[in-house]
Amino acid sequence: MLNGSLETAKEEYMREFPFIRQWVKEGRTSISVQKLDIDVLASTPYLVEGDYLKYYCIGRDGEILIEVECKGKHYEEFSFLRPRTWFGHDLPGETVFESMKRGVRPISEIAYVVAVFSHFPHYTIIIYKVPHGFSSNPDLFIQTQQQEIRNRVRENLKDESEMG
């Protein structure tokens, strides 16, 4: 019965957010909705040996406005005597926020950021809702988020010092 309720939840998400259908795979796809935060804005996509994490900025009408670029890996010419050539190294991609800023369309048109994570045979889709006020001043949103994090850290340190 649990599997049936998961399928029902998946169908509900696809009704509310029809643009995710293109990423939903048969069976093992989990879907959740969260509020966009600074961690997502600072994230970069990756592609490693078939597993990937991709980000898409979606407009209010469900259109993909921006696909955050993934640079993948760079492999030097293999040499048994040079271990750094054995596995390659990650090339830095751009962050979600950098993609938003370079986008052809204004940030104000972005309603969602969708993260698609594949660890075959499992797929996870997270729909991040863009909060009100973000599009009018994204830099202020980031500063506010950073200040909230600093305040939480201060509170935690204060609590720990009072306990110990």
Give the H/E segment covering residue 29.
strand 29-35
Q: What is the pLDDT of residues 108-158, one digit of tens each?
A: 899 999 999 988 778 899 999 998 877 767 777 777 877 887 888 888 888
Q: What is the DSSP letter of 20?
A: G
Rounded to two decimals, what is the model's pTM? 0.73
Beta strand ranges found along 69-162 (DSSP E): 73-74, 89-90, 110-119, 122-129
HEC profile of 51-70: EEEEEEEEECCCCEEEECCC
Q: What is the pLDDT of residues 75-112, one digit of tens each?
A: 566 666 766 666 665 666 788 988 888 877 888 899 99
